[in-house]
Amino acid sequence: MSSVKVGLLGLGTVGAGTVNLLQRNNDEIARRAGRGIKVICAAARHLDRPRACPTEGIRLTTDPYEVVDDPETEIIVELLGGDEPARELVLRAMSNGKHVVTANKALVAIHGNEIFAHAKECGVTVAFEAAVAGGIPIIKAIREGLTGNRIEWLAGIINGTSNFILTEMYYEGREFADVLAEAQRLGYAEADPSFDVEGIDAAHKLTILASIAFGIPLQFGKVYVEGITHVTREDVEYAQQLGYRIKHLGLCRQTEEGIELRVHPTLLPERQLLANVDGVMNAVMVMGDAVGPTLYYGAGAGAEPTASAVVADLVDVVREFNLEPESRVPYLAFQATALSDVPVLPMESVETAYYLRLEVLDQPGVLADITRILSENGISIEAILQKEPAPGAEHVPVILLTHRVFERNMNRAQEQMEALDAVQGRIIRIRQEQLR
């Protein structure tokens, strides 16, 4: 039987890794898929650049539309990233009767509902394992391995750049800006790192994971997103003294009122497995009612880790060539007609615990005023850490850990505390989770 012919949109890091993996493990892949898989054409921005993969037998072009319109290609692998023209190219490929594999988390998170509907109309398959957590097969694990469970919550470190920065701040006591500059030099962060450090990248991935976990439509616009740029070396140190580490966490949880969908810096107990995921590594913890807590750990980016997921998707698509569309694994784990309309909760309706750092005048009665405000808003204190003032300083840092409370109560209390004459500037607030 002849090999399945593939067209690549993008021949950068992941594209080259995909070509290398397909060629190196060709026999093993053919044994698993039932047929060989061969890249016959690829779109690249520049044709004269040296490649990290062999290109013999691959027709190169600068026009991605040539690839999706090529009558020979049966599967299109989209590795361009971003919103457009990726969306238009994917829709056109499907209209041409081609199956699609994509590593584009923004494309799936923002346009996935439209893309999946169009795939059904065209009778083709879309696969997107590589869009979340690189080489970790987390989508397949939730969608297929845990299909007998009711997922209660999942939490993940799903952006390697942010995790690298917080890891260096923890172990080396460095400032955020210094570590960010190093991450850019090492290639972990882009020249414009905002998608990573502001949480947008993680929010794209969490959108996809939440839909698969809970059977809801993709709703990127409803994710609460907060970055790590306000986290200081002092916050990392104070958290450590209290027995916690700060991680940039994506978390979704199903409650009786609705679904929490949020990305933000989070204090995790030092003993918690996710708290010990360091460097650029990714990890996702999933709580199922039958299986209990499960942890998935590995490389969240890179040429061959991500290519591993791309090739796995290619094999799955080839295996399903002869299946009727209704017999294929549903994209979001649940049948398309059975997706739930359970609401995504606004952040003010989420209940969590908090780390607070205040700069207050070093004088009697200040702490009493603060605890009174917290009490009036139904907020109880778990721990207090009061530091000595610096020589000659009028203000002293006070660190509080609270018990769980609704965000709306904390918003009101913070506004009242910041209005006190004794409190200087804005209060630093970081959420805390136990992940029990």
Contacts by residues 68-74 (CB-CB < 8 Å, ≥ 24 positions apart) = 68/7, 68/9, 68/92, 68/93, 68/96, 68/98, 69/96, 70/7, 70/40, 70/41, 72/5, 72/40, 72/41, 73/5, 73/6, 73/7, 73/40, 73/41, 73/98, 74/4, 74/5, 74/6, 74/98, 74/99
Is residue 412 packed enough to be buried (19+ CB in 10 Å), middle (13-18) or exposed (0-12)?
A: middle
Selected catalytic residue, list 105, 205, 222, 247: 205
CA distance 153 to 287: 5
- Among the residues of 187-232, which ranges form H helices? 194-197, 200-214
Is 105 an active-site residue?
no
Could you tell me the CA-to-CA distances from 315 to 38, 58, 215, 307 in Å, in that order? 11, 20, 25, 12
Instruction: Please give the radius of gyration of the chain, using alpha carbons only, rounded to the nearest integer.
Output: 24
**CB of 244 within 8 A of CB of 166?**
no
CA 316 from chain center: how many Å? 23
CA distance 102 to 81: 9
> At 309, which amino acid appears?
A
**CB of 266 within 8 A of CB of 430?**
yes
Which residues are the active-site residues?
A: 205
